Amino acid sequence: MAVRMEVQEFQSPAVLVPVEFDVVMPGDGEVLIRVQAAGVNPFDWKYVEGLSGRGAPTEFPIVPGNEVAGYVDAVGAGVTTVGMGDEVIWHGFLGGYASHLIVKATAVRPKPESIGFAEAASIPVAGGTAWAAINQAGVGKGDRVLIHGAAGGLGGFGIQIARNLNAHVIGTASAANHDYVRQLGAEPVEYGDGLEDRARAIGPVTAVVDFVGSAETIAATVALLPDLSRAITTAASPASTAAGITPVARDPKSVPSAIDLVGRGYVTVDVSRTMSIRNAERAFAESRTGHTRGKIVLIA
Ligand SMILES: NC(=O)c1ccc[n+]([C@@H]2O[C@H](COP(=O)([O-])OP(=O)(O)OC[C@H]3O[C@@H](n4cnc5c(N)ncnc54)[C@H](OP(=O)(O)O)[C@@H]3O)[C@@H](O)[C@H]2O)c1
């Protein structure tokens, strides 16, 4: 029996209810995905709890989840780009916390054979957004880029993508994550009181990518970066905008580029935690702490 995790009313913290449903056949231009893994992102709980910046949702039920990896189980009329049994990655808006999902064929991409489903389901949101932010900041050879939030989902991708562009990376994290950040290729620096001085002691920075968006990261960015046109945030707020830090923009190249980098082995994906899709509420609780490492993935 197919199951999806529904948020049925506006509540904080959100309650997720497993609901069984009958699988129907995909319509014209659609495919049915038998989900193997669904990526968890802070947006998933922020959206249903009215904290995403889009206001409180008014229509329920909502099935969270913007990225999955799985097998194509059926194809609708007119679909020529994917076939039965193909291993694919989907990126879209809501619906991913489910064992089966019908989506537009144009929204799926081939899963690289070299990686597993959990890794594949982790790429679109974190990998795609990190790729977009690093590229929007114009990071390249000779740069010294400061990444705020280096140990999280976006951080792991951001460090490796910047290193692939031959930049030197300084990554902020708590002391417990310094070895981890170092392994990913960045020079760690502890956040908290004195961040600006510690970062300055490491040397000048030429670009900043902020995956945190706190008052501290905004102040440090403004103090450390002479050219704020090279400061990009994925956690934009009125304060970051007032400070002159640019929000990350959508880039159609970002998701395919991130998938390609992982598929070719230039970037690895750290899935720090997997749990059953039925435990999505626990995944929300862990993500809500703001201190998870790498990616949390739900297994369908
Ligand atoms: N605009 C978009 O399209 C878009 C897309 C994806 C994500 N986002 C946003 O981008 C942000 C990052 O997403 P994510 O998935 O990477 O989140 P995440 O995985 O939940 O980030 C957790 C990490 O943040 C670190 N952290 C917490 N507070 C910190 C601080 N003050 N300074 C430095 N590091 C700190 C933690 O490190 P320690 O454990 O060492 O403290 C932890 O490793 C979120 O706000 C998310 O909503 C936006």
**pLDDT > 90? residue 280:** yes
State mean pLDDT over 50-55: 93
- Whether the pLDDT of residue 279 is over 90: the answer is yes
Average pLDDT value over all residues in the chain: 97
Ligand 1 touching residue 287 (CB < 6 A): yes
3-state secondary structure at position 56? coil
Report whether pLDDT(95) > 90.
yes
Q: What mean pLDDT comes out for the span 69-75?
A: 98
Ligand 1 nearest-atom number relative to CA 151? 43
Q: For position 222, what pLDDT does the model report?
A: 98
The pLDDT, as a whole number, for residue 1 is 86
Query: So what's the pLDDT on residue 268?
Result: 98
Structure tokens at 39: 């990526």
CA of residue 284 to ligand 1 center, whole Å: 14
Average pLDDT over residues 13-21: 98
Evaluated on CA atoms 222, 223, 229, 234, the torsion sign reads negative
Pocket test for ligand 1, best of 40, 47, 154 (most atoms within 8 A of CB): 154
| Spatial contact of 2 and 98, defined as CB atoms under 8 Å apart | yes
DSSP label at residue 175: G
Q: Are 144 and 204 in contact (CB under 8 A)?
A: yes
Element (H, E) at 109: strand 108-110
- Of ligand 1's atoms, which has the minimum distance to the CA of residue 236? 1
CB distance 66 to ligand 1 below 6 Å: no
Distance 189 CA to ligand 1 centre (A): 16
The yes-or-no verdict on residue 135 having pLDDT over 90 is yes
**Ramachandran assignment for 214, one of left (phi > 0), alpha (psi -120 to 50 degrees), beta (any other):** beta
Ligand 1 in contact with 240 (CB < 6 A)?
no
**DSSP helix/strand/coil, 244:** coil
* Burial of residue 39 (number of CB atoms within 10 Å: 0-12, 13-18, 19+): buried
- 158 Cβ inside 6 Å of ligand 1: no
Contacts of 268 (CB under 8 A, 6+ apart): 160, 262
